[in-house]
Chain A
Amino acid sequence: MTMLEVFREHKQNVCAAWVELVLSTYSLDTKGFLRTKNDPFLNPVGDITRLCAGCLYDAMAGEDIDAAKLKDALERLVKLRAVQVFTASEALGIFYAFKSVVRSTLLPLMEKSGLTAAYLEAESRIDTLALMAFDMYAKDREVVLENRVNEIKNQHAQLLRWAQTVDGSPVGGSGKTKL
Chain B
Amino acid sequence: MATLPTPQQLIASRPAFPKENWMDIKPDFKPGSFCYPAQKQTMELLHMPNPHEWNPADEDWNLPENWEQILIDAFEERLKKHRSLKLFMDICVRCGACADKCHFFLGTNDPKNMPVMRAELLRSLYRKDHTMLGKILGKKVGARGWDKDVVKELFSYAYQCTECRRCSLYCPYGIDTAEITAIVRELLHEVGLGIHWIMDPVKNCNITGNHLGIKPHSFVEIVEMLADDCEEVCGIRPKTPFNEKGHEILFITPSGDVFADPGVYTFMGYLMLFHELGLDYTLSTYASEGGNFGSFTTFNMAKKLNAKMYAEAERLGSKWILGGECGHMWRVINQYMDTYNGPAPAHMMDVPTSPITGTQFTNAKSTKMVHITEFTADLIKHNKLKLDPSRNDHLITTFHDSCNPARGMGLLDEPRAVLKAVCNNFVEMPEKTIREHTFCCGAGSGLNTEEIMELRMRSGMPRGNALRYVQQKYGVNHMACVCAIDRATLPPLANYWAPGVSVSGVHELVANALVMTGEKKRTMDLRQEDLPNVDGGDE
Contact = CB atoms under 8 A, between A and B. Distances in A.
Interface in B234-260: 258-260
Interface in B481-505: 488, 491-492, 495-497, 499, 502, 504
A127 to B, nearest CB: 12
A155 B259 CA distance: 7
Given A41-B465, A44-B465, A147 B492 contact: yes
Interface of A: 21, 24-30, 33-34, 37, 39-45, 48, 72, 76, 79-80, 83-86, 89-90, 93-94, 96-97, 99-100, 140, 143-148, 150-152, 154-159, 161-162, 165, 171, 173-179
A83 B11 contact: no
A140 B491 CA distance: 15
B457 A26 contact: no
Interface string B457-474: 110011001101100100
A143 B100 CA distance: 28
A151 B488 contact: yes
Contact of B466 (A34, A41, A145): A41
Contacts of B360: none
B109 interface: yes
23 contacts: A27-B110, A28-B17, A41-B462, A41-B466, A41-B469, A44-B461, A79-B496, A83-B457, A85-B28, A85-B33, A89-B10, A90-B10, A93-B11, A96-B7, A143-B499, A148-B451, A151-B488, A154-B488, A156-B212, A156-B260, A157-B261, A177-B262, A179-B525
Chain A contact residues: helix, strand, loop or mixed: helix
B259 A157 contact: yes
Given A144-B453, A147-B457, A152-B450, 11 more contacts: A34-B109, A80-B461, A84-B109, A85-B110, A90-B10, A96-B7, A97-B7, A155-B259, A157-B259, A175-B527, A176-B527
B453 A148 contact: yes
Contacts of A158: 222, 225-226, 258-261, 264
A179 B458 CA distance: 25
Contacts of A26: 13, 109
Contacts of A29: 22, 111
A89 B105 CA distance: 23
B12 A25 contact: yes
Contact of A30 (B110, B468, B495): B110
A176 B491 contact: no
Given A90-B13, A179-B478, A42 B432 contact: yes
B78 to A, nearest CB: 29
